[in-house]
């Protein structure tokens, strides 16, 4: 009857949409594809509205289907939160935390809060996913991750910044670079003639630099393009050229003197920000809240 919602059937809809086909959902659930199709059909009949659209390459959710998917994710999130609170009330220190972050934050996270957190909460497991900016926002907004670390996230009503910090983007060079020792900061154009390494456009840092290109009416021509911040640092360390990074991304090499930073006189780069984000309206579990507290206190990128 219209208006009923058999929540047990939502898992079939969720798995089918997430995996793109009912057959893939059936494999994941270890049941026949016909059973998945039947459960979704019954759900559509109960609610009197189409929930999926079929295409040659699979299926996708209708607008109504998307509403149910958000509800399903939120229900799962609330369930996990309730279980976590009950564990705390029983004096347990168990749970799990899912974090998604840009690769540039990895060294900062591991050197800062992660070691301390793992020592203090040995029974809380942590899942770390490294992803590009768009995927970070998707995972956080769809409750696949509790929180995310990202540079300059675009305005999005689905996410909220729990902590942010201004993290200027510098030119990163090796000792002996021609502009070192000269009075700065330098105009961004003064670096265009040097060999350059940058990361892909899926990275928040590169998206900031693309905005700089548009604003300054210039074009970066990287000799090396990579998905690895380690490669960017090695490119500079071996005196192959210049890259652009916030200082926390190369903190170890800067402290040891292997790399140096040069301030750049460019408003977008000077005002870049690191953000610790969560889904708007989400009540984090006790374990996730403990992790967020450690991150806000001990991440160099949040200072």
Q: How many other CB atoms are found less than 10 A from the CB of residue 257?
A: 8
Q: What is the pLDDT of residue 186?
A: 94
CB 187 within 8 A of CB 265: yes
Helices 10-19 and 33-47 sit at what angle, rounded to 10 degrees?
120
In a domain, 80, yes or no: no
The domain tally of the chain equals 3
List the domain range (segments joined by +) for residue 25.
7-68
pLDDT at 43: 86
d(CA 154, CA 134): 9
Using DSSP, state whether 296 is helix, strand or coil: helix
Return d(Cα 7, Cα 43) in angstroms, integer.
9
Based on the fold, state whether residues 257 and 121 are members of the same structural domain: no
Exposure string of 116-132, with b = 16+ CB inside 10 Å and e = fewer, is: ebeeebeebebeeeebb
* Beta-carbon contacts of residue 48 (< 8 Å; ≥ 6 apart): 2
- Token output for 26: 């059936």
Q: Are 224 and 237 found together in one domain?
A: yes
What angle is formed at CA 246 by the lines to CA 193 and CA 163, rounded to 5 degrees? 150
Task: Assess whether 229 and 290 both reside in one domain.
Answer: no
Distance CA(261)–CA(41), nearest Å, equals: 60
**In this structure, are 161 and 174 located in the same domain?**
no
| pLDDT per position as a tens digit, 48-83 | 888 888 887 788 888 888 888 888 877 777 776 676
Q: Is the peptide bond before 214 cis (omega within 30 degrees of 0)?
A: no
Q: In this predicted structure, what is the pLDDT of residue 8?
A: 80
Q: How far is CA 302 from the centre of its chain?
A: 15
- Both 231 and 114 in one domain: the answer is no
Q: Is the domain of 173 the same as that of 258?
A: yes
In a domain? residue 78: no
Contact 259, 174 (CB under 8 A): yes
Q: How many residues does this entry show for the chain? A: 303
User: Looking at the structure, do residues 124 and 34 belong to the same domain, yes or no?
Assistant: no
Residue 1 is predicted with a pLDDT of 42
Residues 224 and 238: their CA atoms lie apart, in Å, by: 13
Would you say residue 246 lies in a domain?
yes
Q: Can you give the C-alpha Rg of the chain in angstroms?
A: 23
Give yes or no: residues 155 and 201 share one domain: no
Write b or e for each residue in 8-28: b if 16 or more Cβ atoms lie within 10 A of its Cβ, otherwise e. ebbbbbbbbbebebbebbbee
pLDDT in tens, the chain (303 residues): 445 677 788 888 888 888 888 888 888 888 888 888 888 888 888 888 888 888 877 888 888 888 888 888 777 777 766 766 666 655 545 678 999 999 999 999 998 899 889 888 888 899 999 999 999 999 999 889 999 999 999 889 999 999 999 999 999 999 999 999 888 899 999 999 999 999 999 898 999 999 999 999 999 999 999 999 999 999 999 999 999 999 999 999 999 999 999 999 999 999 999 999 999 888 888 888 889 999 999 999 998
**Residue 264 DSSP class:** B
| pTM score over 0.75 | no
Same domain, 266 and 173: yes
Residue 2 lies in a domain: no
Do 159 and 295 lie in one domain? The reply is yes
Residue 87 lies in a domain: no
Output the domain CATH number for residue 147. 3.40.190.10
Residues 6+ apart with CB under 8 A from 214: none
- Return the pLDDT at 226: 95
Question: Both ends of the chain: CA-CA distance in Å?
Answer: 55
pLDDT for position 235: 97
Residue 181 neighbours by CB distance under 10 Å: 10
């Amino acid at each position: 009857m219209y208006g009923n919602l058999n929540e047990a059937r939502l898992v079939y809809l969720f798995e089918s949409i997430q995996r793109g086909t009912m057959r893939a959902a059936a494999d994941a659930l270890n049941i026949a594809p016909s059973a998945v199709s039947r459960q979704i059909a019954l759900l559509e009949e109960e609610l009197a509205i189409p929930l999926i659209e079929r295409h040659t390459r699979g299926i996708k959710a209708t607008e109504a289907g998307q509403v149910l998917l958000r509800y399903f994710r939120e229900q799962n999130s609330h369930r996990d939160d309730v279980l976590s609170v009950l564990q705390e009330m029983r004096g347990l220190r168990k749970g799990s935390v899912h974090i998604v972050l840009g690769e540039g934050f990895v060294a900062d996270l591991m050197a800062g809060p992660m070691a301390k957190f793992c020592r203090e909460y040995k029974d809380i497991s942590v899942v770390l996913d490294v992803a590009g900016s768009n995927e970070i926002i998707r995972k956080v907004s769809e409750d696949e991750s509790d929180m995310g670390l990202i540079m300059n996230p675009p305005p999005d009503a689905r996410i909220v910044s729990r902590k942010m910090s201004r993290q200027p983007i510098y030119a990163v060079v090796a000792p002996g670079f021609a502009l070192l020792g000269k009075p700065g900061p330098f105009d961004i154009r003064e670096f265009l003639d040097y060999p350059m390494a940058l990361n892909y456009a899926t990275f928040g840092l590169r998206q900031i630099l693309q905005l700089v290109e548009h604003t300054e009416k210039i074009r970066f021509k990287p000799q090396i393009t990579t998905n690895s911040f380690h490669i960017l640092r090695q490119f500079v360390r071996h005196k192959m050229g210049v890259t652009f990074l916030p200082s926390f991304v190369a903190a170890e090499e800067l402290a040891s003197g292997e790399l140096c930073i040069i301030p750049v006189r460019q408003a977008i780069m000077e005002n870049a920000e690191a953000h610790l984000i969560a889904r708007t309206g989400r009540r984090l579990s006790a374990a996730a809240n403990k992790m967020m507290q450690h991150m806000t206190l001990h991440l160099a990128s949040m200072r």
